[in-house]
């Protein structure tokens, strides 16, 4: 079984050490584009022009949008991390100053800036955004507010580690208007935390969660399943302790401990089977705690809006700021250049977009289904639309999903639900519908083979 939704794969070349100083090494791409293989490619300048034209034509009534800001720096690199980030130590002031200088310029010259509507949410990810230092972080925040505006309802959020949180940091974040903090907990087990280069103990992490909540922040916890020496007892204890500390929004990723080329190996198959058992355990816990799936690998209670992660389900655009940030606008999906090409583009007044695709009507139908599947809420109307566009191909797929209990109609007849099994195989399900759009439907045997990998 392959859980195609996991974010983390062991770094192939960098699993043991810190990275060099400076911005060397920032040219390695760690993840594939989520839309790879579908859509019509646009070059960098054409994508920038598309954004500018969209901004002009929708100036009076723009689509709601969120902002994602990528900060690709960390104090050290956790063993499991495959995100676009590097450890920066030593001469860090110069590196961070340079980053903030070009980032602020990219914000203030962005084609989507200075509209008459503010964002619904601004989300800082990375990396560890606070690693650039509080003053620089505040400078970026002010630059965003100046160029894009803000409002009381805008949810300012950031991803960080508990070790970055101090009373001074919490006060500054509150003054800047931040409401939500996504904490990279991964596990509370101290042996695993030490091995994975986390800087605080599980108890210290829990204390920080409680402290942040007392200060009025919404806290969510990122967890990873499948470390070496992991067990169902560790998972259970992590879930119980985090829930007891007040966490009501969990984001959970599976760690693969094999390299991509070894995905067929028996070691991978065994690990995948083990992780699947953990996944079942997570679902049982979430059901008993009344937390519902809201997005890929994420569970929350019904009070949790979590605006950034759920923006695609509301059809919102996303303005991407920073190297390797991904954005969307209308039918355009794009990804920014990596460092140092990102700096160079901003410096020269050129497009910072590296690659982009534009969807057509047919593909948009698939994309819409995909967005609803990721949000675990598929409407009957969407199913009917896809069936109308791809009558035989999608009917076969729908039969396959129902027969294998991956997605089932709700009793009210108005919607469909991704099941627990479906949430594990959702990457495969999305591959099936994308294949449906670009090539003949998968035969039943081929689909079964794909799910067994």
Smallest distance, ligand SF4 to C-beta of residue 243, A = 22
Nearer to ligand SF4, 185 or 286 (CB): 185
Output DSSP code: residue 442. Answer: P
Does 2 sit near ligand SF4 (CB under 6 A)?
Answer: no
Number of DSSP helices (H) and strands (E) in the chain, helices first: 15, 19
- Asked if 147 interacts with ligand SF4 (CB under 6 A), we say no
Stretch that binds ligand SF4, among 74-82, 174-182, 280-288, 438-446 (CB under 6 A): 74-82
**Residue 205 or residue 430: which is nearer to ligand SF4 going by CB?**
205
Q: By the 8 A CB rule, do 197 and 79 touch?
A: yes
Determine which helix (DSSP H) or strand (DSSP E) holds 163, and give its type and residue range: none
183 binds ligand SF4 (CB under 6 A): no
Nearer to ligand SF4, 161 or 423 (CB): 161
The answer to whether 83 contacts ligand SF4 (rule: CB under 6 A) is yes
Residue 220 binding ligand SF4, by CB under 6 A: no
187 near ligand SF4 (CB under 6 A): no
Binds ligand SF4 (CB under 6 A): choice among 47, 78, 221, 373: 78
Nearest to 373 by CA among 287, 452, 317, 294: 294
Measured from the CB atom, the residue of 222 and 316 that comes closer to ligand SF4 is 222
CA 332 to chain centre: 18
Residue 372, phi then psi, degrees to nearest 5: -70, -35
Q: Does 6 bind ligand SF4 (CB under 6 A)?
A: no
* 162 near ligand SF4, judged by CB under 6 A: no
Q: Is 325 in the site for ligand SF4 (CB under 6 A)?
A: no
Residue 358 φ/ψ, nearest 5 degrees: -120, 125
Alpha-helical regions (H) of 71-201: 92-108, 134-148, 167-176, 190-195
* 85 touching ligand SF4, by CB under 6 A: yes
Nearer to ligand SF4 by Cβ, of 184 and 422: the residue is: 184
430 binds ligand SF4 (CB under 6 A): no
Closest CB to ligand SF4 among residues 128, 432: 128
- Single residue of 81, 183, 221, 386 touching ligand SF4 by CB under 6 A: 81
In whole angstroms, the minimum distance from the beta carbon of 270 to ligand SF4 comes to: 25
CB closer to ligand SF4, 127 vs 352: 127
Whose Cβ is closer to ligand SF4: residue 227's or residue 400's?
227
225 lies in the site for ligand SF4, by CB under 6 A: no
266 neighbors 1 (Cβ within 8 angstroms): no
Query: CA-CA distance, 275 to 255, in Å (whole number)?
Result: 8
Measured between its terminal Cα atoms, the distance across the chain in Å is 5
Q: Are residues 31 and 4 in contact, defined by beta-carbon separation less than 8 angstroms?
A: no
Cα Rg of the chain (Å, integer): 22
Under 8 Å between Cβ of 36 and 431 = no
Q: State the Cα–Cα distance between residues 353 and 395, nearest whole angstrom.
A: 38
Instruction: Count other C-beta atoms under 10 Å from residue 41's C-beta.
Output: 10
Instruction: Pick from 44, 106, 120, 128 the residue near ligand SF4 by CB under 6 A.
Output: 128
Residue 286 binds to ligand SF4 (criterion: CB under 6 A): no
Q: Look at the block and give the residue holding tokens 């990375």.
A: 126
The DSSP letter of residue 441 is P
256-261, long-range: CB within 8 Å, 24+ apart, which pairs? Answer: 256/6, 256/8, 256/9, 256/10, 256/226, 257/10, 257/226, 257/228, 258/10, 259/9, 259/10, 259/12, 260/9, 260/12
Check residue 74 for interaction with ligand SF4 (CB under 6 A).
yes
Q: Is 161 in the site for ligand SF4 (CB under 6 A)?
A: yes
Q: Which residue is nearest to ligand SF4 (CB)?
A: 81
5 SS3 class: coil
Q: Which of 88/173 has CB closer to ligand SF4?
A: 88
Beta bridge partners of 41: 357
Q: Is the CB of 218 or the CB of 255 nearer to ligand SF4?
A: 255
User: CA dist 256 to 2, 67, 86, 93, 296, Å?
Assistant: 10, 30, 20, 35, 17
How many residues belong to the site for ligand SF4 (CB under 6 A)?
A: 11
Q: Applying CB under 6 A, which part among 73-81, 202-210, 228-236, 440-448 lies near ligand SF4?
A: 73-81
Shortest separation between residue 135's beta carbon and ligand SF4, angstroms: 21
Work out whether 77 is an interface residue with ligand SF4 (CB under 6 A). Answer: yes
Q: Sketch the per residue contact string, 19 through 58, with ligand SF4: x for CB under 6 A, - otherwise.
A: ----------------------------------------
Interacting residues with ligand SF4 (CB under 6 A): 74, 77-78, 81, 83, 85, 126-128, 161, 184
């Amino acid at each position: 079984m392959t859980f195609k939704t996991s974010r983390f794969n062991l770094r192939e070349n960098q699993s043991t050490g810190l990275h060099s100083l400076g911005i060397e090494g920032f040219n390695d791409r760690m993840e594939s584009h989520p839309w790879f293989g579908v859509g019509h490619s646009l070059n960098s300048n054409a994508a920038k022009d598309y954004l500018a034209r969209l901004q002009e034509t929708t100036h009076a009534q723009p689509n709601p949008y969120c902002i994602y800001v990528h900060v690709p720096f960390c104090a050290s690199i956790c063993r499991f991390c495959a995100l676009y980030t590097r450890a920066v130590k030593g001469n860090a002031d110069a590196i961070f100053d340079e980053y903030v200088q070009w980032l602020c310029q990219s914000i203030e010259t962005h084609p989507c800036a200075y509209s008459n509507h503010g964002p619904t949410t601004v989300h800082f990810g990375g990396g560890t955004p606070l690693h650039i230092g509080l003053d620089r972080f505040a400078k970026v925040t002010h630059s965003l507010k100046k160029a894009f505006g803000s409002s009381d309802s805008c949810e300012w959020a950031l991803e960080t580690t508990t070790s970055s949180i101090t009373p001074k940091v919490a006060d500054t974040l509150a003054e800047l208007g931040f409401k939500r903090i996504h904490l990279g907990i991964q596990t509370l087990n101290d042996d695993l935390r030490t091995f994975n280069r986390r800087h605080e103990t599980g108890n210290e992490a829990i204390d920080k969660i409680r402290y942040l909540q007392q200060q009025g922040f919404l806290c969510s916890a990122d967890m990873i399943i499948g470390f070496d020496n992991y067990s169902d007892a560790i998972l259970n204890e992590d879930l119980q302790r985090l829930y007891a500390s007040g966490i009501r929004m969990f984001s959970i990723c599976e760690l693969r401990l094999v390299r991509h080329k070894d995905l067929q190996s028996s070691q991978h198959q065994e690990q995948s089977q083990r992780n699947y058992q953990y996944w079942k355990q997570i679902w049982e816990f979430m059901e008993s705690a009344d937390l519902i799936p809201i997005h890929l690998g994420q569970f929350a209670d019904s009070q949790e809006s979590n605006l950034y992660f759920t923006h695609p389900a509301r059809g919102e655009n996303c303005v991407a700021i920073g190297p390797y940030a991904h954005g969307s606008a209308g039918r355009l999906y794009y990804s920014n250049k990596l460092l140092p090409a990102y700096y160079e583009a901003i410096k020269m007044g050129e497009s910072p977009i590296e690659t982009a695709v534009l969807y057509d009507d047919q593909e948009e139908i698939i994309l819409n289904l995909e967005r609803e599947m990721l949000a675990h809420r598929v409407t009957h109307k969407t199913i009917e639309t896809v069936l109308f566009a791809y009558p035989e191909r999608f009917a076969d797929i729908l039969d396959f999903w129902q027969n294998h209990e991956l997605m089932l109609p709700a009793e009210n007849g108005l919607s469909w639900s991704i099941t627990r099994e479906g949430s594990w195989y959702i990457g495969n399900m999305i591959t099936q519908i994308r294949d449906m759009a670009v090539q003949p439907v998968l035969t039943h045997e081929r689909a079964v083979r794909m799910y067994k990998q």
